[in-house]
Amino acid sequence: MGVDYYKILQVEKPHPVFTRDGNDLIVTQKIPLAEALTGYTVHLTTLDGRNLTIPINTVIDPNYEEVVPREGMPIQKDPTKRGNLRIKFNIKFPTRLTAEQKAGIKKLLG
């Protein structure tokens, strides 16, 4: 019933791309509004150096989250299993539109 003080004192260093939520890894992609509406392909390098290509063929709204099973952190009690990779999106909206752009958008979406 001993306490593993080394684990308690271990501090996880922040990663420049991923954050961790339990065994899940979370990444946020900044994408333009046009790609959020028409489709986007996520290109990521995993922590172990593999390149992932994840096509998103649905409309991405500000609350959309793509979940890629078994691409998260190894589960400590069973290293053959992994958490998920969760991809969140930060959609870049234009700051202004011309009258022509507004009319075109209204025609397309109206």
Q: How far apart are CA 61 and CA 33, in angstroms?
A: 9
Q: What is the CA radius of gyration of the chain?
A: 19
Q: Which fold has domain 13-109?
A: HSP40/DNAj peptide-binding domain (2.60.260)
**Average pLDDT of the residues in 86-92:** 97
Domain ranges of the chain: 13-109
Q: Looking at the predicted structure, is the pLDDT value of residue 52 above 70?
A: yes
**What is the reported pTM?**
0.81
Strands 19-21 and 24-32: antiparallel
C-alpha 3: how far from chain center: 35
How many C-beta atoms surround the C-beta of residue 85 within 10 A?
A: 24
pLDDT given for residue 7 in this prediction: 47
pLDDT for 6-45, tens place per residue? 444 455 678 888 999 999 999 999 999 999 999 999 999 9
